[in-house]
Amino acid sequence: MSEIIEPLRGMNDMLPDEARWWSRLESVARAVFSQYGYREVRVPLLERTQLFKRAIGEYTDIVEKEMFTFEDRDGQSLTLRPEATASIVRAAISNGMLHNQRHRLFTIGPMFRGERPQKGRYRQFTQIDAEAFGYEGPDIDAELILIAARMWRLLGIPSERVWLELNSLGTPESRATYREALRTYFTANEAALDADSRRRLVGNPLRILDSKNPALTELIAAAPLLTDYLDSASREHFEGLCARLDAAGVAYRLNPRLVRGLDYYSRTVFEWATDALGSQNAVCSGGRYDGLVTQLGGAATPAIGWALGMERIVLLMQELSLAAPAELPQVYFVLAGPAAVARGLQLAETVRDAQPGMRLETDLSGGGIKAQFKRADKSGATVAVVLGEDELARGVVAVKPLRSGGEQQECPFAELAGCLERLLGVVAVDGDGAARQDRGR
């Protein structure tokens, strides 16, 4: 027997029972983005390494420690994308999307970081990203936050289990002044810093504020506050955002220590967090990156976005015992004999054509009626459609309720789709795929 090939560490299989939670989250996200007029964009998994070095910054853990980078056959350095924003900006520039235009975009897909795998944090992970280009004021900041808040409501996540934290990083100029104040402060206390923080002190002292080392908690708490260095325009922008959230009834907490580890952020930064996942409490992070388009070679363009890790949201849904739809078949065809199988497959296709919203499974495992009925019951189907030699000869099927205890009835082949619709109250779907009604389970 050949040796079993195991998956790579931190890159996990997703089996059907798990995938249904992901499908639920993705369907809610797509529905909400559609409500707000956000359009989908898809970008490559592989990019030139220089894209992420320029966008994310040389002194971040992502670039220094975590990226999956290799050389291709031509000696070009390539990287599996560690995040989506840089790729979306690159795509917008490459395809001429930003000249006197505004865009609301989203993407859903896998990212890759070579960090130590732990619960909710893997080497291949999936993000939902929302990005907006060409909007300067705080209105779009508020809208993106409202989108996330609506997603939590539709998923059934209680407002007391997820909260919003806000801060402003100011302009690059005001942040540069603040960075020097931080560098002066931490240099005076360098003996108390750990090795990682001393390294960050040279490259990007703001990253020291992200330290999870409990020995540095008091030192960081006493550091200068970014809000004391904000320029007036950034302060006005932030106050405008808070006013819009107040008007929309979205609660938030001001967190002057909230920074982003990526160099391209400016002004608004925010984070949705939860108390249900232990130390991995951030579930959605974002903010403005008005300078990134210029940094990557495009014309100056205001931009803002957020990203959420699907793994953590799924864990949160499971931790809170929220419902994820089990896509069980509604109809199970029990087919006895080769002729019945051939006719049953044809009947099933006819029903699917007439009722695209109906979930229908045919038993193609063989065996007798009794064995097939056991499989039908185990499948969770609502009704069984039985076709044997006798029914085939008479041009009918037997329709047997499996859950309600109702009476079995016979139905002519030509009337089967309508009979099942009446019995199940299924979702009737138009030819263009739009649901007309939703009465089904």
Q: For 281-310, what is each residue's pLDDT tens digit?
A: 889 999 999 989 999 999 999 999 999 999
CA–CA gap between residue 89 and residue 303 (Å, rounded): 9
Query: What pLDDT was estimated at residue 348?
Result: 95
Residue 193 is assigned to a structural domain of this protein: no
What's the average model confidence in pLDDT over 12-35? 92
**Four-point Cα dihedral 41, 46, 48, 49, nearest 10:** 110
Residue 108 is assigned to a structural domain of this protein: yes
Instruction: Say yes or no: 410 and 286 in one domain.
Output: no
Going from the C-alpha of 329 to that of each of 133, 185, 358, 381, the distances in angstroms are 43, 64, 8, 5
Kindly tell me the number of DSSP H helices and DSSP E strands found in the chain.
15, 18
Instruction: Say yes or no: 148 and 237 in one domain.
Output: yes
Instruction: Say yes or no: 352 and 287 in one domain.
Output: no
Give the tens place of pLDDT for each residue, 306-328.
999 999 999 999 999 887 777 88
**What's the 3-state SS for 1-28?**
CCCCCCCCCCCCCCCHHHHHHHHHHHHH
Which residues, at least 6 apart from 261, have a Cβ–Cβ distance to it below 8 Å? 60, 61, 62, 207, 210
- Among 297, 319, 341, give the residue marking a domain's end: 319
Query: What pLDDT was estimated at residue 179?
Result: 87
Residue 162's SS3 state is strand
- Among 291, 319, 347, give the residue marking a domain's end: 319
Q: Domain range spanning residue 115?
A: 16-171+231-319
Query: What pLDDT was estimated at residue 88?
Result: 97
What's the average model confidence in pLDDT over 48-73? 82
Place of tokens 């008091």: 218
Strand partners, 128: 108, 308
Instruction: Say yes or no: 242 and 364 in one domain.
Output: no
Query: What pLDDT was estimated at residue 328?
Result: 87
Instruction: Say yes or no: 296 and 381 in one domain.
Output: no
Please tell me which residue, 200 or 426, carries the higher pLDDT value: 200
Q: Would you tell me how many other CB atoms lie within 10 Å of the CB of residue 403?
A: 11
Work out how many domains the chain is built from and give that number: 2
Polymer length in residues for the chain? 441
Ranges 145-154, 178-187, 199-208, 328-337: which has the least confidence:
199-208
CATH classification at residue 264: 3.30.930.10
Which residues, at least 6 apart from 214, have a Cβ–Cβ distance to it below 8 Å? none
Backbone angles phi, psi at 110, to 5 degrees: -80, 145
If 0-12 CB within 10 Å is exposed, 13-18 middle and 19+ buried, where does residue 183 land? middle
**Model confidence at 65: pLDDT above 80:** no
Please tell me which residue, 59 or 226, carries the higher pLDDT value: 226
**Four-point Cα dihedral 134, 136, 139, 145, nearest 10:** 70
**Four-point Cα dihedral 262, 268, 272, 275, nearest 10:** 90
Query: What pLDDT was estimated at residue 280?
Result: 65
Residue 325 is assigned to a structural domain of this protein: no
Give the tens place of pLDDT for each residue, 388-400.
999 999 999 999 9
**Model confidence at 438: pLDDT above 50:** no
- Among 319, 347, 362, give the residue marking a domain's end: 319
Instruction: Say yes or no: 160 and 306 in one domain.
Output: yes
Residue 311 is assigned to a structural domain of this protein: yes
Strand pairing class (409-412; 396-401): antiparallel
Residue 371 is assigned to a structural domain of this protein: yes
Give yes or no for a contact between 268 and 291, defined as CB atoms under 8 angstroms apart: no
Residue 132 is assigned to a structural domain of this protein: yes
CA–CA gap between residue 337 and residue 335 (Å, rounded): 6
Instruction: Say yes or no: 314 and 337 in one domain.
Output: no
pTM value is 0.84
Instruction: Say yes or no: 312 and 338 in one domain.
Output: no
Distance of CA 32 to the CA centre of its chain: 12
Which residues, at least 6 apart from 225, have a Cβ–Cβ distance to it below 8 Å? 256
CA–CA gap between residue 207 and residue 261 (Å, rounded): 6
